[in-house]
Structure 1
Amino acid sequence: MNETKQVKDLLDTPIARRRFLSGGATVAAVSFLGGGVMSSCGKDDDDKRNPPEDNPDLGLGGGEQPDPTGPNPTPKEPLLGFNRIDPVLDETFDWMAVPEGYNAQVFFSWGDPVVAGAPSMLESTQHTAADQEKQAGQNHDGMHYFPIDGSSEHGLLVMNHEYINQWSLHPAGDTLVNGVRPQEEVLKELAAHGVSVLEVKKNGKDWSIVSDSKYGRRIHGQTKMMITGPAAGTDALKTVADPEGRTVYGTYNNCAMGYTPWGTYLACEENFQGYFGNKDETDFESRREHKRYGIGTKNRYDWDTVMERFDATPKANLDHQGYVNEPNRFGWVVEIDPFDPKSDPVKRTAMGRLVRECATPSVMDDGKMAFYMGDDSRGEYIYKFVPKGTYDPKKSSKENGALLDEGTLYVAVFYEDGTGEWAALEHGKNGLTALNGFRDQADIVINARSAADHVGATPMDRPEWVAIHPESKDVYVTLTNNSRRGNGDARQTVNAANPREANLHGHIVKIAEANNRADAVSFEWDIFLMAGDPSAENETLKGDIKGDIFSSPDGLYFDQDGRLWIQTDYSDSSDNNVNFGLNQMLASDPETKEVRRFFVGPKGCEVTGITKTPDGTSMFINVQHPKLHFPDRSGKNPPRSSTILIQKDDGGIVGA
């Protein structure tokens, strides 16, 4: 077999020289047996986290499985039980489309109250920074439903607010006065980032937000957070304001997310690099923890004109060079306990510093687990973190949370023969030594991208969301798109797992771990589907979708029955996307690979964020950055990102 340049380069890496899969040898056969569930636990009698046996959304679902080879197997119900809807090609469409027999309603929008006593943005005469700290932030994204006492009618809905739209956040737009941003504007922008925790209840068919909930909470750009793991307390995380390197304020650009079997939420810091600037170009060029992550010389929102911590330019006359290390304190997984509103969020550095999209859990019967993560940039990598210890449902969330501070960070290496390996990013292994520029494990996790470069990880087409099949544990990853493939850049060379040049429409990769183990170090892989338009003249844009077409898969989610929900994020104004219509959500049967369109959002939006109640009858998704007047179509108010509640008219399972 002829090898590509990428594969030849991999042969020179430490991991390739140790590769035990050779000459097309396969990993152990994947077992498709269902397993027991690893679910959330209670700290004490007052803890309302879901007991393990009642929460299929946190694991596999237990019990013996029927033998399909028996003499009278029960006929299998079709997985996709709804009628497809057509794409929406109307450029003025400003609402939502769902199949016949379903209803979709706006449930929670930017500016709605979160904390008890907070005003509504639409009802207050002034929408201040202090108000915004108690209201829904902008640009809803990843989210998760946490049942209370196992209930599908009472729980906590936790969601990210990824970024801000300055033009709508400030009535007169953002301003810069004599080169300085007004402090009130900056504080309001900080407050519109972060995470919302809502208590939600169902009464009959109607859901509502508990307005006086003790759980209602906003985590935002000024919230105090702790730093733990190998990087905590090291020089690279110290600043003039935090000489201990263990306390940080705020979280930004939280895109997708994860959750834990002990009932906590994992917010993931994605494009944090734009919030900081290093004006010293010479220093910037030599500082890999800045340059390799895309931190430039200018702050995206000019926050550094008001708050010095966003100026990452080294200051020689200050301890720890001022705030040069502040960017190193972002790009982490942030663990939040939604059931304890007084707890400090925790940045878990053992899981690596990335432009991270998600931290999707896969939990096994024996308590071992892995968290899968995409680094959402062109030519970046797929990672997983395997804690050293095992989940114990008898322990508190705080005790189990410590599992995220010790373990092995891996990066994926894809081979042309359909096999792959997880290369350990561990000091002393695979050439990650001081001799090769990696001082210790803290240096590796802070510079995870550079470590992944060194071990020969496979560059991917913008790895975004990861979803785990609830039975097989197969791992599905969206590769949203990559217009730079084949442009001569060594990092953008076409490879087997990313086979298209100028990959405008993206694809989905499926990974089957060896022996069906989340902690495996080898896997088999294939391409689940290539998105595209079969009417395109260019062969590389056609794709191979069986059913309804789409572009740029982004959000990805398996429900309890094994339906794969796919959400899209593309420019609905681009000539390349004209036949797809507006952004949408589709469902796929992972066995037949059939794809059906289920939801279409308003003009200009991205469809993102998805979660279901454990019984599958209520689905929540997010409509981000709509462009016209959604959801207040009077035209009096700016468009607002919103959470959408979808239910079946007959109260049945969504999608069935």
Structure 2
Amino acid sequence: MAKHNVDSKYLDPDYEPVVNHSGNKVFDDVLNARVQRRTLMKGGVGAALASIMGFGLAGCGSDSSSVIASASAGSDPDGDNVSKTALGFDAVAVSTANNVVVPAGYSAKAFLPWGTPITGSYPEFRADASNSGAEQEQQVGMHHDGMHFFPIDFKAGGNRSDEGLLVMNHEYINQKALHPEGPTYNQSGMRPADEVRKEIAAHGVSVVHIKQDSAGTWDIVFESPFNRRVTGNTEMDIRGPVRGYQKLSTRFSPNGTQTRGTLNNCSMGPTPWGTYLAAEENWHGYFANGSQTQPREQTRHGVGNATRYDWEQADSGEDQYIRFNITPAAESAKDDYRNEANTFGYMVEIDPFTPESKPQKRTALGRFGHEGVIFAPVEEGKPVVCYSGDDSRFEYIYKFVSSRPYYAATASGYLLDEGTLYVARFNEDGSGDWLALSLDNLDFVARVQAAQGSSVGAVLFEGFENQADVLLNTRLAADIAGATPMDRPEWGAVDPNTGEVYFTLTNNSQRTEEQVNAANPNAENRTGHIIRWSEANKDFAAAEFQWDIFLFAGEQGTETIVDGKVVVSLTDDNIFNSPDGLWFDYNGRLWIQTDGSDAAPYQNNMMLAASPATRDIRRFFVGPQGCEVTGVVTTPDVKSMFVNIQHPARDWPFGTEGDHPRDATVIITRDDNGVIGA
């Protein structure tokens, strides 16, 4: 149906329906809190926040007599990390300007806007947005998000900073901006097939070979064999335990081993072996099931009866478009697309150094609304460990531990196909447990058996057929395991100096007073916070961890308290809301990006730098009007920084005919060619 007849929520690409009704505080009665929450009101500001735990990350199972007041006290006894991560710039002020703001002594330049030709016949972008679908398949996609810079000599063990592959996600699209007059429909409510082709092509991933000249200017290496577009229609293999499972059978792949495309790619994760994992986040809005009832694989994710972009209504009636209508239409799943949505919701591995390679969906990492993935440092002979957040209200944080050990000489994506997926439970006393979502785990099996025949949220639970079924229904498995519902867990990052793991919890305005817990202590949490933990005995594969809250976001005067001591009180230099993007640079500075309210006092979205050792936090960057600041990476020498600007207001950074704003990457350098942030 045409969009004017559809509930407006389906038009919102950020629409994340609350589909976790498991009530996990009922599933697991939490321990009595030994930390009393209290509200802090700063004069005239009205910032109400709860205090955090009186414990540190130095030891596991510590009691109240062994607390530490800050990360610097517990994990940096010699002060080395203080000097490594010290901030050497003056904070920039909040801004409402339609341009990028960086500190004095820095320069910023827009680069690789939507529509930049990078491959094929290199078709030029037309300012009226009249490029065809075929041309968009050869151009940089829309709505830039997570990205990574791979040194061109990475596979040879090098770390060049003047040449490499910049790989970035394109999360979703602005239909109005993508076409000369926005999306169109004929009298029957059908859409021109080429418009649909173009929209699918504007999704996905871009791989761009870039190089710096002697003057320090970055540009595309044209005609490079590495330049590549992966789109919402690129053929992909399904790997891991869910490969071949009958619930993935479709007309395109009756044996459930292949699919087409990756969609709604938000953050990402570079692997230790030099590949790129793109996350599939809000994929549920691309599919429609008009049936009166839906399987749990759809209801637990919020699949509705209308799609966001009406791709299934392409007037050509081609198979590549009708697959987005997942209403059963034949006697067998092998003859329709009822299972098409089951082939989405994964981490997708792309090898940027092998352009002819086929992307791989790594199902052992679970199926949910992946924001991204972050790898722990690898060690020879030990398992590979990575973390991922499920970016929706009341969803969970996960960890994957490979079955096979890592060896640099042979490591590749096969390490992600066998292992154990865990979900986090944050206990009220500052301890935490990783709960194995495996039918080989007796505790999980006991909970599965106890839940059979009962209602788990909106699902009448009747068990799991096998481990593939567990992973296909990762959210439901986590409900049953007793995980802690979080306030939209988004990007993660591992401190290269201490090994502590950080996650942004962006916000959750729907959490009530009855639903708060120590890890998510604020009802109607509109500004968010950042949580962190240390694995037991510094073993990333451990089953237990110790956690605290690194920072609360909010207005001036918002305080973060550890062990009764104010460790951060936000000022004009560092107020922010809705932390989203998160990344540690190669020296250990933490970069925090926002995707929140642009109202006073915060104004345009921004990026801040933080020293984890001292909790010194300063605003480094402010984006143009209307944008989200998302995606950050530097070259290995930390002298060129790449930051993505998503959905900016019109006329930034390039003038266009009509309302066709262009997402772009910003390159930041120091005027003296020094280290960014130092």
Alignment TM-score > 0.5, same fold: yes
Q: By how many angstroms is 1:632 displaced?
A: 1.1
Moved more, 590-599 or 103-112: 590-599
524, 545, 551: which is aligned to 2:570? 545
The answer (yes or no) to whether the contact 2:503–2:531 under 8 Å persists in 1 is yes
In structure 2, relative to structure 1, the CA distance for the partners of 1:245 and 1:605 (3 Å cut) is same
The yes-or-no answer on 1:357 pairing with 2:371 is: yes
117, 121, 142: which is aligned to 1:117? 121
Give 1:64's aligned residue: none
Equivalent position SS for 1:580: coil
The answer (yes or no) to whether the contact 2:55–2:548 under 8 Å persists in 1 is no
How far apart, CA to CA, are the structure 1 residues paired with 2:84 and 2:642? 24
Amino acid at match of 1:313: T
The yes-or-no answer on 1:347 pairing with 2:380 is: no
80, 96, 100: which is aligned to 1:96? 100
Deviation readout 1:77-114 (Å, 9 max, x if unpaired)? 661011111101x3xx2111000000000011000012
In structure 2, relative to structure 1, the CA distance for the partners of 1:7 and 1:390 (3 Å cut) is same
Ranges in structure 1 where 5+ consecutive residues have no aligned partner: 14-23, 31-66, 538-542
Deviation readout 1:400-456 (Å, 9 max, x if unpaired)? 210110011010000000000010011142334774411211001100000000010
Equivalent position SS for 1:363: coil
Identity level (%): 49
In structure 2, relative to structure 1, the CA distance for the partners of 1:593 and 1:550 (3 Å cut) is same
The yes-or-no answer on 1:438 pairing with 2:445 is: no
Report how many residues are paired. 583
Q: By how many angstroms is 1:472 displaced?
A: 1.2
In structure 2, relative to structure 1, the CA distance for the partners of 1:456 and 1:68 (3 Å cut) is closer
How far apart, CA to CA, are the structure 2 residues paired with 1:552 and 1:290? 28
Give 1:621's aligned residue: 643
How far apart, CA to CA, are the structure 1 residues paired with 2:305 and 2:671? 53
The yes-or-no answer on 1:228 pairing with 2:239 is: yes
User: Where do residues 189-208 of structure 1 align in structure 2 (5 Å cutoff)?
Assistant: 189-204=199-214, 205-208=216-219
In structure 2, relative to structure 1, the CA distance for the partners of 1:328 and 1:223 (3 Å cut) is same
48, 59, 64: which is aligned to 1:29? 59
The yes-or-no answer on 1:168 pairing with 2:193 is: no
330, 338, 346: which is aligned to 1:332? 346
The answer (yes or no) to whether the contact 1:162–1:254 under 8 Å persists in 2 is yes
The answer (yes or no) to whether the contact 1:27–1:522 under 8 Å persists in 2 is no
Give 1:590's aligned residue: 612
The answer (yes or no) to whether the contact 2:85–2:588 under 8 Å persists in 1 is no
The answer (yes or no) to whether the contact 2:577–2:597 under 8 Å persists in 1 is no
The answer (yes or no) to whether the contact 2:57–2:548 under 8 Å persists in 1 is no
How far apart, CA to CA, are the structure 1 residues paired with 2:263 and 2:603? 31
How far apart, CA to CA, are the structure 2 residues paired with 1:78 and 1:271? 34
Give 1:76's aligned residue: 83
Deviation readout 1:545-566 (Å, 9 max, x if unpaired)? 3651000000000001111100
Give 1:133's aligned residue: 137
Equivalent position SS for 2:391: coil
In structure 2, relative to structure 1, the CA distance for the partners of 1:25 and 1:163 (3 Å cut) is closer
Give 1:62's aligned residue: none
How far apart, CA to CA, are the structure 1 residues paired with 2:489 and 2:55? 26
Give 2:94's aligned residue: 87
Give 1:46's aligned residue: none
Ranges in structure 2 where 5+ consecutive residues have no aligned partner: 1-22, 32-53, 61-75, 154-158, 315-320, 453-462, 560-567
The answer (yes or no) to whether the contact 2:57–2:534 under 8 Å persists in 1 is no
How far apart, CA to CA, are the structure 2 residues paired with 1:405 and 1:516? 24
The answer (yes or no) to whether the contact 2:82–2:611 under 8 Å persists in 1 is no
User: Where do residues 465-484 of structure 1 align in structure 2 (5 Å cutoff)?
Assistant: 465-484=491-510
How far apart, CA to CA, are the structure 1 residues paired with 2:263 and 2:82? 48
How far apart, CA to CA, are the structure 1 residues paired with 2:445 and 2:82? 53
The answer (yes or no) to whether the contact 1:116–1:213 under 8 Å persists in 2 is no
Q: By how many angstroms is 1:225 displaced?
A: 0.3
How far apart, CA to CA, are the structure 2 residues paired with 1:304 and 1:444? 29
Give 1:273's aligned residue: 284
Equivalent position SS for 1:109: coil
Q: CA RMSD in A?
A: 2.5
Amino acid at match of 1:10: D
The answer (yes or no) to whether the contact 1:566–1:587 under 8 Å persists in 2 is yes
How far apart, CA to CA, are the structure 2 residues paired with 1:333 and 1:117? 30
Q: By how many angstroms is 1:318 displaced?
A: 3.7
In structure 2, relative to structure 1, the CA distance for the partners of 1:496 and 1:305 (3 Å cut) is same
How far apart, CA to CA, are the structure 2 residues paired with 1:557 and 1:28? 22
How far apart, CA to CA, are the structure 2 residues paired with 1:486 and 1:212? 55
Q: By how many angstroms is 1:212 displaced?
A: 1.1
Equivalent position SS for 1:76: helix
Deviation readout 1:369-414 (Å, 9 max, x if unpaired)? 211101000000001111111222212xxx6210110011010000
Q: By how many angstroms is 1:262 displaced?
A: 0.6
Q: By how many angstroms is 1:241 displaced?
A: 2.3
The answer (yes or no) to whether the contact 1:371–1:386 under 8 Å persists in 2 is yes
The yes-or-no answer on 1:384 pairing with 2:414 is: no
Give 1:565's aligned residue: 591
Q: By how many angstroms is 1:365 displaced?
A: 2.6
In structure 2, relative to structure 1, the CA distance for the partners of 1:7 and 1:182 (3 Å cut) is closer
Moved more, 148-157 or 440-449: 148-157
How far apart, CA to CA, are the structure 1 residues paired with 2:107 and 2:639? 12
The answer (yes or no) to whether the contact 1:7–1:415 under 8 Å persists in 2 is no
Give 1:18's aligned residue: none
User: Where do residues 209-608 of structure 1 align in structure 2 (5 Å cutoff)?
Assistant: 209-281=220-292, 283-284=293-294, 287-306=295-314, 307-320=321-334, 322-366=336-380, 367-395=382-410, 400-429=412-441, 430-432=443-445, 435=449, 436=452, 437-486=463-512, 493-534=515-556, 544-545=569-570, 548-572=574-598, 577-608=599-630
Give 2:28's aligned residue: 10
Deviation readout 1:229-285 (Å, 9 max, x if unpaired)? 11110101101221110110000000000011110000010000000011002x22x
How far apart, CA to CA, are the structure 2 residues paired with 1:474 and 1:329? 33
